Structure 1
């Protein structure tokens, strides 16, 4: 008994000694936080370089100042035209060490830039992911990894001249009936650039066609749905508008867009399918425009327009990736996304802003937000580059009556498959 008590006393003394020697848990926790903060501060850069789109950086004066106030990091903001120049500029300046830490990109460029290492994958918390619509986050992902946070989206919508069309029709059957009555003496009820696959995807997708099938969260470039039964029905729907003379022959090819805009601005067209980039030019022409989501197709399905998402990305060459990511998490908060919208009119994908009066009471923004619910993000894999030209050529043979729907789409798919095999096989 005495031996057992002695052993117990020894154990208790040893435990007491260890507890006395060991650090206080709160002090240890505090010490870890302090060391983390010091490490964080040690890695903090004096400056971050930001590339924003041309004529879109004004909002960063205010928001950037708040980031600098909170972090002590200065910002150098440079405007670079996004659609065509920014990608190439990154390829040159990034490796040379003169590129940005943070840059903006259209989501369809993500795949090729991620493969080349020009942009870095992100690891963000779930609460930040939940800030945005699911479709916009899908657009910012490639091969199962997230490469950016969304800043805005755009998709074609239905735009009408309120003097010629009192309200937006709910269905394309209504638009067709209106057009049959209205189209005469150089006037047209409705126009769309359906020889251009960016716009033609809306009816083709709405009837069941698709570009690449999605498998396990990734797009499969070997599974094309551009000549399936639904795609052919969509092509038949498109061809009807041309064959019945509801679209003028001049609305084809590279000059089709300017021809359509010209007719609409002259008050000769009651409605068009176009994107939010056209709103201001129509207003400047003196047209009192109304805007809505696209009317539903004859099969009762919505038009599956292509959606383009613009996002914020971290350069693969940045030496300040951690702070660059913190910056884009900071500027995409709801209040700052709203400020950017108010200055640029580019519709944010923040879920918390969908019902905000700034957007809900803006007819154009509301239409884009509504149509985006049915829209499909443009595929961002490199193989998408092989789709545009064959589809454009086949659609043009379709709308000019040189080929039937199935024949035209089969030709496009055959060429796309050959292009992918030639340019993307391992």
Structure 2
């Protein structure tokens, strides 16, 4: 009997030891302890910087994120194009900066090199949410540094009173312009002395800025004076030589001069970006908008595309949760809501045919043209391209130089500038 009692006591002692080592019942035996471990690293809040006058949509979407995660959001508006970058440089190292920030994609290379933004590790399913070109725009040196927020690219805009329907091709635009252009009226205008716009025909004929190798841009391989670039520039030259473009839309004041003529009802169609839509409407012009008509060689215009993206600050102490937030706000439903509030066109594949975009003529045109657009190069060497190309194009359109010679000179200047300012 004593042996039985002793054995019973031993079993009780073993059970007590096991209970002491087991999970705390107050925490829950079904995995709550794991949640507490996960929540240990969860921040109380994330600081988000959105562009000026664009943060209202985050009231609703941010509320949903907080409900799902328990993380509060502190949203601040900072002008994106110029002030955002400088503010991050100051506030990031000081520990007072954001966790999540937004930038135009052409600033990514510089920001990544300086460590101001962190690379993202997202699944292929997340990447497939967006157009391939917009993911490429958000990448630098083969690494992904952001998820796309919206895109913009030049499109074909026409005055419906002067041009009843959008032409099917640039040959049709040319024929219309030959008949319409007289007495101070013009059939079609484009700022083709500006390389941002001139890239469309140059790229459509086979020109390119930097070659792409395995997802990275090669600044040593320039395609700005190859046969295609020259042919595209000759196409540009034709419009000026034949008097189809006025002399007053050259140089820095070209944009305002073109807009003025269009707003006065003296121009039937223009190539311009979505930023111009509201101004034309405010001037009383009944505009139609479509993707750029195809070039005479049957190829689409390869317009430059600008992508705005969401990024994780390189200084954030909450990078994992900041990335989760970026993934959340770029889901189709949330991206659509942002579009409805801001009219900035998302690059989500699943939204291209959504009624919110498909029934919006301007947004549909931007989405359609974006399929053929080329992301503006986002490597620092791109800064050496703009001025030499502008000067070379202006010598062509003013009849001072032929395309091949002008482009050769521009490429030589670009190569010298890259060697002088970007050599390791």
TM-score normalised according to structure 1 size: 0.92
Matched position secondary structure for 1:120: coil
Q: Residue 326 of structure 2 corresponds to which residue in structure 1? A: 328
* Number of residue pairs aligned between Structure 1 and Structure 2: 400
Among 242, 260, 263, the alignment partner of 1:262 is 260
CA displacement at 1:215 relative to structure 2: 1.1
Moved more, 66-75 or 265-274: 66-75
Q: CA deviation at 1:219?
A: 0.8
Q: Map 1:80-99 to 2 at 5 A.
A: 80-99=78-97
Match of 1:42 in 2: 40
Find 1:342's aligned residue among 319, 340, 343: 340
Which residue of 2 is the match for residue 278 of structure 1? 276
Partner of residue 154 from structure 1, selected from 140, 152, 155: 152
Where does residue 8 of structure 1 map in the other structure? none
In structure 2, C-alpha distance between the alignment counterparts of 1:309 and 1:40, rounded to whole Å:
34
Q: Unpaired segments of 5 or more residues in structure 2?
A: 1-17, 23-27
> What whole-Å deviation, never above 9, does each CA across 1:106-138 have from its counterpart, x for those lacking one?
111101100110000001122211111111111
Root-mean-square deviation (Å): 1.5
Shift of 1:34: 5.0
Runs of 4+ in structure 1 off by over 4 angstroms are 30-36
Shift of residue 31, structure 1, vs aligned partner: 8.1
CA distance in 2, matches of 1:169, 1:413: 34
Q: Please, which of 54, 72, 75 is the counterpart of residue 74 of structure 1? A: 72
What does 1:237-252 align with in structure 2 at a 5 Å threshold?
A: 237-252=235-250
Alignment of 1:386 with 2:402, yes or no, is no
Distance 1:61 1:411, change over 3 A: same
Please give the secondary structure, in 2, of the residue aligned with 1:250.
helix
Shift of 1:380: 0.8
Deviation of 1:150 (Å): 0.5
Q: How far is 1:278 from its partner?
A: 0.6
Provide, for residues 303-343 of structure 1, a one-character-per-residue CA deviation record: whole Å limited to 9, x for no partner: 00001111000000011111101111111111110111011
Question: 2:229 aligned with 1:231, yes or no?
Answer: yes
1:373 and 2:375 correspond: no
Give 3-state SS (helix, strand or coil) of 2:288's partner: strand
Indicate which of 89, 99, 102 corresponds to 2:100. 102
CA deviation profile, 1:132-181 (whole Å, cap 9, x unmatched): 11111111111111100001111100000000000010111111111111
From the superposition, tell whether residues 407 and 164 of structure 1 become closer, same or farther in structure 2 (CA, over 3 Å): same
Deviation at 1:33, TM superposition (A): 6.0
Which string of whole-angstrom CA distances, capped at 9 and with x for unpartnered residues, describes residues 375-419 of structure 1? Answer: 111111111111111111111111111111001101110110011
CA distance in 1, matches of 2:235, 2:179: 19
Closer, same or farther: CA 40–200 of 1 in aligned 2, 3 Å: same
1:127 aligns with 2:142: no
Partner residue, 2:314: 316
Shift of 1:298: 0.7
Q: Report the Cα offset of residue 38 of structure 1.
A: 2.5
The 10-residue stretch of structure 1 (63-72 or 221-230) with the greater mean CA deviation from structure 2: 63-72
Tell me the secondary structure at the aligned position of residue 358 of structure 1: helix
Q: Distance in 2 between matches of 1:224 and 1:292?
A: 31
Instruction: Extract unaligned runs of 5+ from structure 1.
Output: 1-20, 25-29
Cα distance per residue 1:275-316 (max 9 Å; x no partner):
011111100110000001001101111000001111000000
- Residue 208 in 1 paired to residue 209 in 2? no
* Partner of residue 4, structure 2: none
1:37 Cα shift? 2.8
State how far apart, in whole Å, the 1-side matches of 2:37 and 2:227 are: 59
Seen in structure 2, the aligned counterparts of structure 1 residues 47 and 261 have a Cα distance that, compared at 3 Å, is same
Q: SS of 1:83's equivalent?
A: coil
Matches of 2:29 and 2:78, distance apart in 1 = 44
- The 10-residue stretch of structure 1 (82-91 or 191-200) with the greater mean CA deviation from structure 2: 82-91
Q: 2:310 is paired with a residue of what secondary structure?
A: strand
Look up the SS of the partner of 2:82 in the other structure. helix
- 1:32 Cα offset (Å): 11
- 1:265-284 per-residue CA deviation (whole Å, 9 max, x = no partner) reads 00000000000111111001
1:401–1:317 Cα change, 3 Å: same
Corresponding residue number in structure 2 for 1:413: 411
CA gap 1:284/1:101 in 2 versus in 1, 3 angstroms:
same
TM-score, scaled relative to structure 2? 0.92
How far apart in 1 are the matches of 2:312 and 2:126?
16
SS in 2 for 1:326: helix
270-279 vs 211-220, greater mean Cα deviation: 211-220
